[in-house]
A and B are shown apart, each in its own frame.
Chain A
């Protein structure tokens, strides 16, 4: 039955809500934009579904129903609708009944309330009357008591004052009693309580009293001080004494200072001792002492924390000064292992001290100290390495080379020496520094990145300054070579070549190896925008430097050869030259010079490919250009009278091997030597072109070039170049000759042959001697 009712209620609610909802949607219908029911036309279409809405039109509904449905359905519909109507009727009835009941009960309640309120009115009236009466009476009493109250209060005040005076008069006695009993705390309490009175009236009525009590208090104070100073006294007692003294307005700061200075002095002594002896026991002693002192102070002066901190900081500064001294010995370098052990002990010590006094900033100080120590260590390492390398270089460079010359291959030795120094030295430094990182001393952890940066930056700086040093050395040697007389075998060119080789070595091997090693252990870092160690940059610098040095070497060497050639060409009077009988001296000198250079080059450089065709067309300038331009331009020639020999020369040139003269030098023996020889021979040609020769002069040149040909071919990487250039020299001489009749081949060969034999003999005897 209850379910039934529930069901009914629900349905009613639904109906009501649907009614109201449809009402709402109706009002929204005027809004054409509103989505949903979709306006009047939509409703018209669906008239059959609109039965539950407000805008329901019965006629239309009926019409459409009749039109759209057949009879059975219509009948069925009729039954349905009838049932629904019935249902609705009963629901409505139910609703009305329920609401009616509620209304009736509400009316009853209101009636009862009305009756109750009418009775309350009289009660309230009574209450008001009574309260008024009470108030009048209370006023009366107050008025009558007023006079006496002032008197009582006065009496009360006098009484308390008298009590105080009594207390003050009794004070000396009490204090003495306390003193006898050793109850200082009580005494101090009394004194402190009385002291305002004594201070106000001490000069007049209570003079004697004050004097007496002050005497007693002075004694007490002295005894308290003694108690505080006595080390044997237990700490709480000392602390109490200090507290009492403080209450007596005794300057506790002075006590604190005294305490601290004496203790700190002691500590410092201990500490210096420990640093001098470097024994761990002493260090430990220092630490325990320090801890004890700190605890003692803290319990004695609970308010003096800041003072303690100050004092501790002071001590700390001195301590770290000592630490720094021991971390950075003036003489000799500390190895990383030593440094680590030192840092470890420091770390332990500081950790203990930090436990005792967290505010004193021990850790910060320690980190700073360690930082500076490590920085110095790193810098020192690099400095030492740099000094070693530069030292080795200046050994080669300096006049001591006289000794070195006695050795067979001075350059080779020093090259290897320096190479080893750079790579192994670099790796060693790195190893050393890695240790520091691996053992990860506590302090290092916090600035690991900075440390890595430091090491990387160290390398960067090392290599950077090395390049600078190289360049300055090369400049110095260059000016030396020019300034002083250009002795043959002057060490400068060889040294420059050495520098070049060294730079290439660093670029190609040294830096990659170091980079690899750095990459293994020093990853990360880079606090700045970019990593501190930039191998590519260094490599670039060294490559440029190597090229520069190589050029310098070639310049100096070829200049020397050119000067010899120049002298040989410009000195004789070629127009009145006598029949050539022998190859001139300069040719031998030239060969000697080339040989000397070869010696240097062979020591320092790698052999490289021998006898190759130079094919690096891009960077070279050729002495010949393509045939086509030649052919085309020839047609533009207007004046071809008597120029057959020129034409012949051009045609001859056409069929010759095209030869590149000025290629880019490589750092190999053959390339460097050929470069020098090529430049020298080109100069030869140019010098020859400036002269005018007689027949004999021309023949002399022919002879000289013939003699030079074979030895030079041996040292140069491309035979054709030598042939070509020497031919050019001969051709130039022929052009500049009034009567270019060459020597007969047989004569030429004979003279050259004998000369060569002689030279071989000379060399043999030289070696023999």
Chain B
């Protein structure tokens, strides 16, 4: 299930497409022409296959798919001193043509530093987008008619280098960012800091993701290789800490439907799937305790992994992308699916029982 592309850092699920499991992969090549690959799980084969190939002018350092339009995406790019971020539209595929260039809708100009990522508005069709560079966070308004994007505001993080961010799916005015060794949330109305977790990691915080079900829960990963789950209201101690990876943990992502599942990937070429039971409310100690939260380590890759993505359609499928351009498709094991499904009905069942059966 491995498909070779050029060297690549980013993969994103096509979130708007709920019919098929599709992923976008952006390549990173200094000397070759860069491409956006559209991958799709074949209906019959169940394996990944190429569905489209579009050329992109420069190296792709970041990629995110528009949540409401299948054909729109945003990239963060850089090449030899230049950098930028832009919104693109996948053109209609012309038969026979191998490579079709992307159609640029808008570009987010004005950044003075290398851009780290772009974030789409998390709820519904809305033309706001956030872009983050090492020092600043910009909020843009996209004009659908094709005019250049309008800057709505910006926040400076000061001395701490920002590495990534996540727009809260619960409160659309909050964006969380990885700021140096800490985690900072910004209020887009006041353009001020809303909450902070200082020293979230011993090194640079690399990635973070909002719990899809709980408003104040965020998972972070960092250069100290750990994965930590935080409650923003209690920033002193993490809710839980996972050992993470042998080297940096670069990516961490909640499963959209099952908050117990956390996917992480790191420079040790591993993809780890964690099972973290949510903190039990009311009865504090009745939740099933598992000795090892690591459900599975995927060893398919040979190089550092910079991209992971859960499928937008099937909650049991995820793809991972390593630097050498290998995309691997994996599935959540069936025993875990059974547990999660049964937990939806009976909340207090021990994982071990299921693991045995």
Which residues of A pack against B, CB within 8 Å? 482, 555, 559, 562, 575, 621-625, 629, 633-634, 636-639, 642-643, 646, 650, 661-662, 679, 682-683, 686, 689, 692, 735-738
Contacts of B202 in A (CB 8 A): 482, 555, 559
Interface contact B3-A683, CB-CB below 8 Å = no
Q: Tell me the dominant secondary structure on chain B's binding face.
A: loop
Interface contact B299-A639, CB-CB below 8 Å = no
Of B185-193, B227-235, B300-308, the stretch lying at the interface with chain A is B300-308
**Whole-angstrom distance between the alpha carbons of A735 and B324 in the complex?**
11
Residue B16 at the chain A interface, CB threshold 8 Å: no
Residue B281 at the chain A interface, CB threshold 8 Å: no
Interface contact A646-B325, CB-CB below 8 Å = yes
Interface contact A662-B268, CB-CB below 8 Å = yes
- Among A559, A622, A692, which residue has the most Cβ atoms of chain B within 10 A? A692
Q: Contacts A621-B268, A646-B325, A662-B268 given; indicate if A682 touches B247 (C-beta within 8 A).
A: yes
> Could you tell me the distance in whole angstroms from the C-beta of B120 to the nearest C-beta in chain A?
24
A sample of 27 inter-chain contacts (CB < 8 A) reads: A559-B202, A559-B203, A559-B223, A559-B224, A621-B268, A621-B270, A621-B299, A622-B299, A625-B299, A629-B300, A633-B2, A636-B3, A638-B3, A639-B5, A639-B50, A642-B32, A643-B6, A650-B324, A661-B246, A679-B247, A682-B267, A683-B223, A686-B304, A692-B78, A692-B79, A735-B7, A736-B30
Residue B158 at the chain A interface, CB threshold 8 Å: no
User: Considering only CB atoms, which chain B residue lies closest to A556 in the complex?
Assistant: B202
Interface contact A562-B4, CB-CB below 8 Å = no
Q: A661-B268, A686-B248 are in contact. List 11 more A-B contacts (CB 8 A).
A: A575-B81, A621-B268, A621-B299, A625-B299, A639-B50, A646-B6, A650-B324, A662-B246, A682-B247, A689-B304, A692-B78
Contacts of A737 in B (CB 8 A): 30
User: Considering only CB atoms, which chain A residue lies closest to B33 in the complex?
Assistant: A642
**Whole-angstrom distance between the alpha carbons of A736 and B50 in the complex?**
26
Interface contact B269-A562, CB-CB below 8 Å = no
Residue B97 at the chain A interface, CB threshold 8 Å: no
Interface contact A646-B7, CB-CB below 8 Å = yes
Q: Which of B6, B302, B304 contacts A624 (CB 8 A)?
A: B302
**Whole-angstrom distance between the alpha carbons of A121 and B3 in the complex?**
143
Interface contact A621-B2, CB-CB below 8 Å = no
Interface contact B323-A689, CB-CB below 8 Å = yes
The 4 closest A-B pairs by CB, nearest first: A662-B246, A633-B2, A637-B4, A682-B247
Encoded as 1 (CB less than 8 Å from any A CB) or 0, chain B from 1 to 14 comes to 01111110000000
**Whole-angstrom distance between the alpha carbons of A625 and B322 in the complex?**
13
Contacts of A686 in B (CB 8 A): 247-248, 267, 304
**Whole-angstrom distance between the alpha carbons of A622 and B78 in the complex?**
31
Q: Contacts A482-B199, A575-B81, A633-B4 given; indicate if A692 touches B302 (C-beta within 8 A).
A: no
> Could you tell me the distance in whole angstroms from the C-beta of B51 to the nearest C-beta in chain A?
11
Contacts of B7 in A (CB 8 A): 646, 735
> Could you tell me the distance in whole angstroms from the C-beta of B40 to the nearest C-beta in chain A?
13
**Whole-angstrom distance between the alpha carbons of A629 and B4 in the complex?**
12
User: Considering only CB atoms, which chain A residue lies closest to B247 in the complex?
Assistant: A682
Residue B265 at the chain A interface, CB threshold 8 Å: no
Contacts of A623 in B (CB 8 A): 269, 302-303
Residue B44 at the chain A interface, CB threshold 8 Å: no
- Among B33, B246, B325, which residue has the most Cβ atoms of chain A within 10 A? B246
Q: Contacts A575-B81, A738-B30 given; indicate if A634 touches B247 (C-beta within 8 A).
A: no
User: Considering only CB atoms, which chain B residue lies closest to A576 in the complex?
Assistant: B81
Residue B285 at the chain A interface, CB threshold 8 Å: no
Residue B53 at the chain A interface, CB threshold 8 Å: yes
Interface contact B246-A562, CB-CB below 8 Å = no
Interface contact A621-B246, CB-CB below 8 Å = yes
Interface contact B248-A683, CB-CB below 8 Å = yes
Contacts of B95 in A (CB 8 A): none
> Could you tell me the distance in whole angstroms from the C-beta of B247 to the nearest C-beta in chain A?
5
Contacts of B199 in A (CB 8 A): 482
Encoded as 1 (CB less than 8 Å from any A CB) or 0, chain B from 101 to 137 comes to 0000000000000000000000000000000000000
Contacts of A639 in B (CB 8 A): 5, 35, 50, 53
Residue B31 at the chain A interface, CB threshold 8 Å: yes
**Whole-angstrom distance between the alpha carbons of A575 and B80 in the complex?**
7
**Whole-angstrom distance between the alpha carbons of A643 and B34 in the complex?**
12
Contacts of A738 in B (CB 8 A): 30-31, 80
> Could you tell me the distance in whole angstroms from the C-beta of B34 to the nearest C-beta in chain A?
12
Encoded as 1 (CB less than 8 Å from any A CB) or 0, chain B from 212 to 247 comes to 000000000001100000000000000000000011
Interface contact B30-A621, CB-CB below 8 Å = no
**Whole-angstrom distance between the alpha carbons of A555 and B245 in the complex?**
12
**Whole-angstrom distance between the alpha carbons of A555 and B243 in the complex?**
12
